[in-house]
């Protein structure tokens, strides 16, 4: 089959690696891609915001399957346009992507379908006074969220009423543009956070190994929220019985509920969970794979991802395409640009990737580019360095030994990815 992958981050590098292992691939293209992905896939010279060019490209190149990595093209309706043109897509419709693109929609959907999640209230920007009244009198901590997509930055866990008040004013004041025209205010959930990815065909699904992200910028879960500074899998807090609850109480009713409203979910349903005393609650849904969890999850999964995605996209998932979801442990450490998630500089030379890979790790490119035959940093999250082992400790050691071999100016990384669970 011929495949087009859309995206350019570490997650897409991992998806490209996974898909490229399929024996059934004739041509594999990527737009816009990155130097890591170009090891497997050919650059497709199309803009991902120009949906008609993507359709034309798919027709010209006889693309059998489009795999969409990030949420923005899903929100923009790329899957819908492709499907209207008879092209097979792994990725939800704009309507189904609302599970991620509107937190208010997702919360109401969960309430309606009896899916466990924190108690919440929605406020429109013209209801700022009511929102402030609500936060001023509510017990703490309290979680304030911009409704729309905000690259992981639109959430404040407020420990004081003043912080909560300021967060509401900031969001309604335009800090997140259109994404902040509504806020969701929800109760704080305690417990341990995990990410579970369900590959869905609209009705049926399979889950991959649960993973744990490390969202804060600094060791010990200190500092600002980021897109994720590292992840490991499997996260053993998700025991078989917890996974059964996640399927029964969350994934099955979500797929049924989405079908009921005419928005069947085809793609990767990312369930962000808090597990408290073995009881799962949904913190968030995303409509795509997680980054940097995917790099760890895919490293321990065996099977034919191209066939898996194709079968799900065609509405009839073939679970047997995946032969093992848990072959050992993986730990993926993000190497970031100093200053991320705020301002940072790019364009620094990266050295040592070959040595790192020779030492046994897999290096995923996230924000890199090649100029004059030199590999340069080109984003906040630059690389993911992933170790794999029979134990989590072994995976962590392989990852961190490889991290030591890679250098670029201003580089920083957390030194404690996976440590809590060793």
Which region among 65-73, 92-100, 181-189, 371-379 touches ligand AMP (by CB under 6 A)?
A: 181-189
154 vs 228, which CB is nearer to ligand GLY? 228
For residues 258 to 277, the per-residue mask of contacts with ligand AMP, x marking binding by CB under 6 A and - elsewhere, is --------------x-----
DSSP 349: B
44 vs 271, which CB is nearer to ligand GLY? 271
Q: Least distance (Å) from ligand AMP to the CB of residue 121? A: 12
218 is a site residue for ligand AMP (CB under 6 A): no
In angstroms, the CA 384 to CA 75 distance is: 26
Q: Name the residue among 371, 375, 405 with its Cα closest to residue 387.
A: 405
User: What b/e string do you get for 36-69 counting C-beta neighbours within 10 Å, with b at 16 or more?
Assistant: bbeebbeebebebeebeebbebbeeeebbbbbbb
283 is a site residue for ligand AMP (CB under 6 A): yes
193 is a site residue for ligand AMP (CB under 6 A): yes
Strands 120-124 vs 142-146: parallel, antiparallel or unpaired: unpaired
Q: How many residues belong to the chain?
A: 422
117 vs 362, which CB is nearer to ligand AMP? 117
Beta bridge partners of 183: 123, 146
Q: Least distance (Å) from ligand GLY to the CB of residue 272? A: 7
What six digits make up the tokens of 150?
Answer: 């905000």
Beta bridge partners of 117: 282
Residue 155 binding: pick among ligand AMP, ligand GLY, none (C-beta 5-8 Å cut-off by kind): ligand AMP
104 vs 272, which CB is nearer to ligand GLY? 272
Q: For the chain, give the longest Cα–Cα distance.
A: 61
171 is a site residue for ligand AMP (CB under 6 A): no
Q: Name the residue among 266, 256, 257, 310 with its Cα closest to residue 91.
A: 266
Q: Least distance (Å) from ligand GLY to the CB of residue 288? A: 8
Q: Least distance (Å) from ligand AMP to the CB of residue 324? A: 28
Q: 76, 132, 157, 237: which one contacts ligand AMP (CB under 6 A)?
A: 157
189 is a site residue for ligand AMP (CB under 6 A): yes
In angstroms, the CA 388 to CA 63 distance is: 33
Q: Least distance (Å) from ligand GLY to the CB of residue 15? A: 13
What are phi and psi for residue 87, nearest 5 degrees? -100, 135
| Binding to ligand AMP in span 130-149, by CB under 6 A | 143, 145
Residue 291 binding: pick among ligand GLY, ligand AMP, none (C-beta 5-8 Å cut-off by kind): ligand GLY
Q: Least distance (Å) from ligand GLY to the CB of residue 235? A: 13
Over its C-alpha atoms, the chain yields an Rg (Å, rounded) of: 21
The residues, ordered by sequence, that sit 6+ positions from 311 with a Cβ below 8 Å of its Cβ are: 201, 317, 318, 321
Q: How far is CA 358 from the centre of its chain?
A: 28
In angstroms, the CA 136 to CA 155 distance is: 18
Helix (H) or strand (E) holding 406: none
Q: Least distance (Å) from ligand AMP to the CB of residue 39? A: 31
Residue 290 binding: pick among ligand GLY, ligand AMP, none (C-beta 5-8 Å cut-off by kind): ligand GLY
Q: 13, 107, 122, 215: which one contacts ligand AMP (CB under 6 A)?
A: 215
Q: Name the residues that contact ligand GLY, by CB under 6 A.
A: 152, 213, 228, 286, 290-291, 293
Residue 228 binding: pick among ligand GLY, ligand AMP, none (C-beta 5-8 Å cut-off by kind): ligand GLY
Which region among 16-24, 182-190, 261-269, 356-364 touches ligand AMP (by CB under 6 A)?
A: 182-190
284 is a site residue for ligand AMP (CB under 6 A): yes
Helix (H) or strand (E) holding 309: helix 305-313
Q: Least distance (Å) from ligand GLY to the CB of residue 195? A: 7
In angstroms, the CA 40 to CA 230 distance is: 24
Residue 118 binding: pick among ligand AMP, ligand GLY, none (C-beta 5-8 Å cut-off by kind): ligand AMP
In angstroms, the CA 292 to CA 128 distance is: 35
Compute the CA torsion angle 301, 240, 100, 334 (nearest 10 deg).
-50
- Contacts with ligand AMP by CB under 6 A lie at 118, 143, 145, 152, 155, 157, 186, 188-189, 193, 215, 272, 283-284
């Amino acid at each position: 089959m011929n495949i087009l992958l859309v995206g350019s981050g570490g997650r897409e590098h991992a998806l490209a690696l996974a898909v490229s292992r399929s024996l059934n691939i004739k041509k594999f293209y990527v737009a816009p891609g990155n130097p890591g992905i170009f090891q497997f896939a050919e650059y497709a010279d199309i803009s991902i915001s120009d949906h008609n060019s993507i359709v034309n490209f798919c027709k010209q190149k006889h693309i059998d399957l489009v795999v969409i990595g990030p949420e923005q093209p899903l929100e923009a309706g790329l899957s819908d346009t492709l499907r209207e043109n008879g092209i097979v897509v792994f990725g939800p419709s704009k309507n189904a992507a609302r599970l991620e693109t509107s937190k208010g929609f997702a919360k109401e959907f969960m309430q309606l379908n009896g899916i466990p999640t924190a108690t919440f209230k929605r406020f429109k920007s013209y209801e700022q006074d009511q929102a402030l009244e609500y936060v001023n009198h509510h017990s703490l901590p309290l979680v304030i969220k911009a409704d729309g997509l905000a690259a992981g930055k639109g959430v404040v866990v407020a420990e004081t009423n003043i912080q909560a008040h300021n967060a509401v004013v900031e969001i309604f004041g335009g800090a997140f543009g259109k994404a902040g025209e509504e806020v969701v205010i929800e109760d704080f959930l305690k417990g341990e956070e995990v990410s579970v990815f369900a590959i869905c065909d609209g009705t049926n699904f399979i889950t991959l190994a649960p993973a744990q992200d490390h969202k804060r910028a600094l060791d010990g879960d200190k500092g600002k929220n980021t897109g994720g500074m590292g992840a490991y899998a499997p996260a053993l807090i998700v025991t078989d019985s917890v996974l059964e609850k996640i399927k029964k109480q969350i994934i099955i009713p979500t797929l049924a509920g989405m079908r009921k409203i005419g928005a069947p979910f085809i793609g990767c349903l990312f369930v962000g969970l808090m597990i408290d005393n073995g009881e799962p609650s949904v913190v968030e849904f995303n409509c795509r794979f997680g980054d940097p969890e995917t790099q760890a999850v895919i490293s321990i999964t065996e099977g034919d991802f191209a066939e898996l995605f194709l079968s799900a996209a065609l509405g009839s998932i073939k679970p047997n395409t995946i032969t093992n979801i848990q072959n050992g442990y993986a730990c993926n450490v993000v190497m970031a640009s100093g200053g991320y998630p705020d301002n940072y500089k790019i364009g620094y030379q990266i050295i040592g990737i070959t040595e790192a890979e020779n030492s046994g790790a897999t290096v995923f490119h996230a924000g890199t580019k090649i100029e004059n035959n030199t590999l340069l940093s080109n984003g906040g999250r630059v690389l993911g360095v992933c170790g794999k082992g029979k134990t989590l400790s072994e995976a962590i050691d392989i990852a961190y030994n490889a991290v030591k071999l890679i250098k670029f100016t201003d580089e920083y990384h957390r030194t404690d990815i996976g440590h809590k669970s060793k």
